[in-house]
Chains A and B, each alone.
Chain A
Amino acid sequence: MNARDRILASLRSSLAGTTPIADPFDATLVDEPWRYSPAERVTRLKELMTAVHSEVLLTNSGEWPKLLSDVLAARQINRLLIAPNTTHGQAFSAYCQSVQNPLHLLAYDRPIEEWKRELFDDVPASFTGTLAGIAATGTLVLQPSPDEPRLMSLVPPLHIALLNASQIFDNLYQAQQYWPKPMPSNFLLISGPSKTADIEQVLAYGAHGPKDLIVLLVEDA
């Protein structure tokens, strides 16, 4: 008998004569304590994310490209990884063209193997969209895709994410009802920049992932 059959046979014999317990899930326990009005969703998400070292900037659909460009200028960042096939990527690159912003826009348009060194060493910031936000825990929901691959939100030291206020759910349970089926190859919840408290429980940011996370929260979208 191989290990698989051995393990399953042992487990089955231990359960002989028993019946599975009925599904005990009770949505009210994970939903009702964590409900908010639309305005509260924005303030709670902002408060919680700010508490873990993220910056949440309230903006609107007309002004966020300028805000993004100002944020980068203030940090003297002149290279930004964007997703040129997404609407937000296109909107930002159109804005940069219109104001003749000298920012160097990079695209994640080839497999990681072909530009790993550059991604690791020469990309100071990235800009991605988000699928949703979660007010209860101050969380962004990201679905990596061919346009916005997994490492876009992980390797560059600064990650900037665009979030529409209307996409903020009260809690994880509610957000989950809208997740894709089947689940994509990778799916992420992000609640701040990378951090660790492994030395004496002293919080340090930028452990392995981004040191900074900036959320552009579009209030009218």
Chain B
Amino acid sequence: MSSQRIHAVDVTARNLKANARLSLKDQQLRNNMRSAMDSLISKRIISMPDEDERENLRELGNKIRARALSELPDLLEQLEANLTQQGVQVHWASSTAEANNIVLKIAQARNAKQVIKGKSMVSEEMAMNEYLTEHGIEALESDMGEYIIQLDNEKPTHIIMPAIHKNAEQVGRLFEHRLAIPYTDDVDSLIQSARGILREKFFHADIGISGVNFAVAATGTLLLVENEGNGRMSTTVPPVHIAVTGIEKVVANLQDTVPLLSLLTRSALGQGITTYVNMISAPRQAGELDGPEEVHLVLLDNGRSQAFADAELRQTLNCIRCGACMNHCPVYTRIGGQAYGTVYPGPIGKIISPHLLGLENTPDHPSASSLCGACGEVCPVKIPIPALLRRLREENVKSPKQQPQIMDGQGSRYSAKERLLWKGWQYFNSLPWLHKTGTFFATRLGGLTPKNLGPWTQNHSAPKLATRSLHELAKQHLEKKS
């Protein structure tokens, strides 16, 4: 992760706790986040009033994703074959470095100087903007939210609403400062200013870059959803379109996108559908007067095959990136997305980022949750996020040497002392005489327990041991009765 984008707090994944403490003190951030999340929560539920309809559709969404993953390699090959036959060039990348290199090669072959981007979380994962900039190519975000945070050198705070942590006044000040536009907090005029600037960028761009919401194997179709039209501009105006996506985004056929689309847009924004659903199956054909001459698809692994290798963790890859888990998360709502220091924040971020970056770089993510379960309850494809968080906690405290190694960075929170303590606890509880003697003395000497128990007593009073153990009390009770 490049240091260029770090802003406001030291945003690295390893500093989640410190970042969170800073974010919690930022009252403006907390107000902005809270009002935005409350509104997204209510929009979602208003758009899904019928519980049966909603729950049946979530179940179907889960099965469609599970089915796609159950034949993922075949579907990827089918997708590749169809796209290739239709004239789209398909590239594969194991790492973000490989993916960046592929994009750069395409850009250099076209002698490209300016790249315009529609919204793409995978390109964030790649830190593609920084990479292209280092190689002398301007990479500009065109999604309004992404454009705003790029102007302020920040990372997205939300996967659907990247700049939701800022209010109109903050955006107005930013535009005044960076674009020399007279200050206003009128949202319409701010948007119109950005539209004017970005239209020129679309006009001149050599390459347009986008993500993919669903890649349809049976028809070789890249399906993109959006409200702004910048996705359509990015994929239509420049002579070259490069789509970048994760290998998990494939679905079997077009009809599978019907329930998934409905789940996606209602869960994300409470909309029955987005303004645009843009389906791309080929570059400009003979006789067509617009559209890109070249279309490329870059399929990125970057840790996804690690999640895929374990049947339980594989469910992480069901995700259709709606953001509902964030909107409903009590932790995310309070600390905002940037504190996580990862491209994907919130509950989904906590279960996907350890695969992308390794547990050693995301040591606190699996435990930054109260396990309240809201994320799992709203997930449109029923990813059991709380269960996966518990699973990652386990992987995180295993001995780093324990085989088989399922996750990179396994055991980043392993402590020999803690392990020994639990071993002792197990031993203590499995020998009746030891347990009996131990509890006898513990209850008699209860008054000697320390008042200060480290972090626990910062927020709680110290626990007091009962004067008699439950065993003893039960025994006394039974004796009295008889």
- Chain A residues with CB under 8 Å of chain B are 2-4, 6-8, 10-15, 18-27, 29-30, 33, 48, 52, 108-112, 116-117, 120, 136-139, 144-146, 149-151, 154, 172-173, 176, 179, 181-202, 204, 206-210
Contacts and interface: CB of A to CB of B under 8 A. Distances in A.
Contacts, number: 255
A120 B301 contact: no
B279 interface: yes
A189 B277 contact: yes
B290 A21 contact: no
A199 B144 contact: yes
Which secondary structure dominates where chain A touches chain B? loop
B128 interface: no
Contacts of A173: 255, 258
B458 interface: no
B254 A176 contact: yes
A206 B192 CA distance: 8
A114 B230 CA distance: 22
Given A185-B285, A208-B142, A195 B36 contact: no
A207 B72 CA distance: 36
A15 B70 contact: yes
Contacts of A146: 287-289
A200 B291 CA distance: 33
Nearest to B202: A208
B178 to A, nearest CB: 15
Contact of A7 (B92, B164, B280, B284): B92
Interface of B: 32, 36, 39-40, 50, 53, 56-57, 60, 63-64, 66-67, 70-74, 76-77, 86, 92-94, 98, 142-145, 148, 161-164, 166-168, 171, 187-188, 190-192, 195, 198-199, 202-203, 219-221, 227-230, 232-233, 236-237, 247, 252, 254-256, 258-259, 261-262, 269, 272-285, 287-291, 299, 301, 305, 308-309, 314
Given A7-B305, A188-B279, A199 B70 contact: no
Nearest to B283: A185
5 tightest Cβ-Cβ pairs between the two chains A and B: A209-B229, A24-B63, A198-B145, A189-B277, A194-B229
B287 A30 contact: no
Given A15-B70, A112-B290, A198-B161, A209 B233 contact: yes
Given A186-B281, A201-B36, A201-B161, A195 B228 contact: yes
Contact of B144 (A15, A117, A196): A196
Given A30-B262, A204-B188, A192 B247 contact: no
Contacts of B94: 3, 6-7
A111 B237 CA distance: 12
A151 B203 CA distance: 12
Contacts of B92: 2-4, 7
26 contacts: A6-B94, A7-B76, A10-B309, A11-B247, A25-B256, A108-B289, A112-B290, A154-B229, A154-B233, A183-B220, A185-B281, A187-B221, A188-B278, A189-B273, A192-B275, A195-B227, A198-B163, A199-B144, A199-B190, A199-B191, A201-B36, A204-B188, A204-B191, A207-B227, A208-B233, A209-B275
B86 A21 contact: no
B453 to A, nearest CB: 44
A136 to B, nearest CB: 7
B88 to A, nearest CB: 10
Contact of A149 (B40, B73, B291, B299): B291
Given A184-B282, A194-B227, A198-B163, 19 more contacts: A10-B308, A20-B74, A25-B60, A29-B56, A30-B262, A151-B290, A154-B236, A176-B254, A182-B219, A188-B276, A189-B276, A190-B276, A194-B276, A196-B145, A196-B191, A198-B143, A199-B168, A200-B167, A208-B142
Given A21-B63, A150-B236, A30 B259 contact: yes
Given A138-B272, A207-B229, A14 B199 contact: no
B163 to A, nearest CB: 6
Nearest to A114: B289
Contact of A208 (B229, B272, B287, B309): B229
A176 B258 contact: yes
A49 B301 CA distance: 39
Contacts of B228: 194-196, 198, 207-209
Given A3-B98, A120-B203, A209-B276, A154 B232 contact: yes
A122 B66 CA distance: 49
A197 B144 CA distance: 9
Nearest to B90: A4
B144 A20 contact: no
A2 B275 CA distance: 39
Contact of B273 (A22, A137, A209): A137
A184 B281 contact: yes
Contacts of A23: 67, 252
B232 A202 contact: no
A198 B144 contact: yes
A120 B148 CA distance: 23
Contacts of B252: 23
A173 to B, nearest CB: 5
A144 B279 CA distance: 11
A21 B67 contact: yes
A116 B232 CA distance: 16
A195 B247 contact: no
Contacts of B53: 29, 33
A36 B77 CA distance: 40
A137 to B, nearest CB: 4
Given A3-B93, A120-B203, A200 B36 contact: yes
A36 to B, nearest CB: 14
A176 B258 CA distance: 9
Contacts of B230: 207-208
Contacts of A110: 289
Given A23-B67, A182-B281, A11 B187 contact: no
Contacts of A191: 273-276
Contact of B148 (A136, A185, A198, A207): A198
Contact of B67 (A2, A24, A27, A183): A24
A150 B229 contact: no
